[in-house]
Amino acid sequence: MTVERPLTANIQPGGEPLSLREYEKVGGYQAVRKVLTSMTPAQVIDVMRESDLKGRGGAGFPTAVKWGSVPLDSKKPRHFIADADEMEPGTFKDRVLMEGDPHQLIEGVIIGSFATEAESAFIFIRWEYTLAQKRLRRAIAEAYENGYLGKNILGSGFNLGLHLHVSAGRYICGEGTALVRSLEGDRAIPHSRVPRQTECGLWGKPTILNNVETLCNVPHIINKGAEWFRDLSLCEDGGTKMYSASGRVKRPGLWELPMGTPLREIIEEHAGGMREGYRLKAVMPGGASTDFLLEEHLDVPMSFGSVQKAGSRLGTGAVIVLDDKTCPIGMVHNLEYFFAHESCGWCTPCREGLPWAASILQAIENGKGIPEDLSTLEKLTWMMAPGRTFCALAPGAMEPLGSALKYFREDFEQHIREKRCPWR
């Protein structure tokens, strides 16, 4: 059985991406043509609903629900944003998609904008993705020259401007309301989720924000249909998924696989298992803000629902492997230091709590921990639980910490008892 890989079909590792002409030759921009000349926005949303496409940025929110939540009579112009601010440590799927096939993303942006009647679109890309920026700039210029962007696209009367915004760098921009503030020229501080951004977002206008991988799926769903998309997967969530593995595995990398591929298959088959002399100790299944899982969880299908049942989150599908020769406390300290640095500082639990957690972990790692530290860390996971902070940054940061306290208890205690790191 050949496995279909729609998202990466045009991508040549290490090669140049397809030009607009080459992209058209393999069926590119056919979905835009179909949508603009023969469908209504409501019909596009219906196809997305039938496909059950869920957001690939980490939250798994149904795309059709997001697109459909723009009130029909709401203000215009509306804005459509592709979130290319991929900063979740461990994650690089969107970089590969943008570098490898920039027109695929642009096509998804045009269709999403049409479906939500947005006339202004942005790709919000992180500063460090310099090659993706270069290739997207060229592809956007080609799309304008060939009438896929600009006024009266394909004679349909639909207008769309697309701007590539290069961020000056901050993890919090991955939070939707913070990203919008950044585009407005402000500090990227999250704001209230009421009213929703789909009603009142960028400059007070309805704004739709989708992850890059999500949008790359859209042209294929339009071309081949919802049923085809659902059948690509091995589980209840449709489509394929970009999964990656990093750490001390034999072949770290990124693969497009059916949604619901078991975690074990990703690590043992695609990544080739552990390097010689290393054993697997634990795994973060979906980037830095997901709970650790253990060897006993490896048969979990990597879908939104199944990973949640196992006690973690699918997140970005970026698997980070912790081996037995790396100190788990050192690793958790690295993670909490990252989150502390990237806290925007707006709400107290996150601003004060994350550096507190990081400093306790550093003390334990340096052999200066005391037994009470563990209950303090536990209290911090409770104080930064969902609902106690302004946005999802601190609760996300507590996922690796909370699960580490559960799974690596003995390692914490050994550090404190022996007043040193046993791995150093």
Which CA distances in Å does 367 have to 56, 331, 384? 40, 15, 26
H/E run at residue 82: strand 78-84
Using CA atoms, how far apart are residues 303 and 184, in angstroms rounded to an integer?
A: 35
Q: Is 90 near another protein (CB under 8 A)? A: yes
Q: Which of 10, 334, 362, 366 binds another protein (CB under 8 A)?
A: 334
> Smallest gap, in angstroms, from Cβ of residue 341 to another protein?
7
Q: Which of 33, 34, 165, 250 binds another protein (CB under 8 A)?
A: 165
Q: Is 269 near another protein (CB under 8 A)? A: no
Residues 6+ apart with CB under 8 A from 236: 260, 303, 305
Q: Is 290 near another protein (CB under 8 A)? A: no
> Smallest gap, in angstroms, from Cβ of residue 50 to another protein?
33
Q: Which of 318, 380, 394, 398 binds another protein (CB under 8 A)?
A: 318
H/E run at residue 208: strand 207-211
Residues 6+ apart with CB under 8 A from 290: 284, 312, 313, 314, 315, 399, 400
Task: Please give the DSSP secondary-structure letter assigned to residue 174.
Answer: G
Q: Is 170 near another protein (CB under 8 A)? A: yes
Q: Is 95 near another protein (CB under 8 A)? A: yes
Q: Is 320 near another protein (CB under 8 A)? A: yes
> Interior CA angle at 64 toward 62 and 70, to 5°?
115
Q: Is 330 near another protein (CB under 8 A)? A: yes
Q: Which of 121, 183, 216, 401 binds another protein (CB under 8 A)?
A: 183
Q: Which amino acid appears at position 14 of this protein?
A: G
Question: In the complex with another protein, which residue's Cβ is closer, 141 or 168?
Answer: 168
Question: In the complex with another protein, which residue's Cβ is closer, 166 or 385?
Answer: 166
Spell 309-333 as b/e; 16+ CB within 10 A means b: ebbbbbbbbbbbbbbeeebbbbbbb
Chain positions contacting another protein, by CB under 8 A: 86-92, 95, 126-131, 161, 163, 165-171, 182-188, 202-203, 244-248, 252-254, 288, 318, 320, 322-323, 326, 330-331, 334-335, 338, 341-342, 344
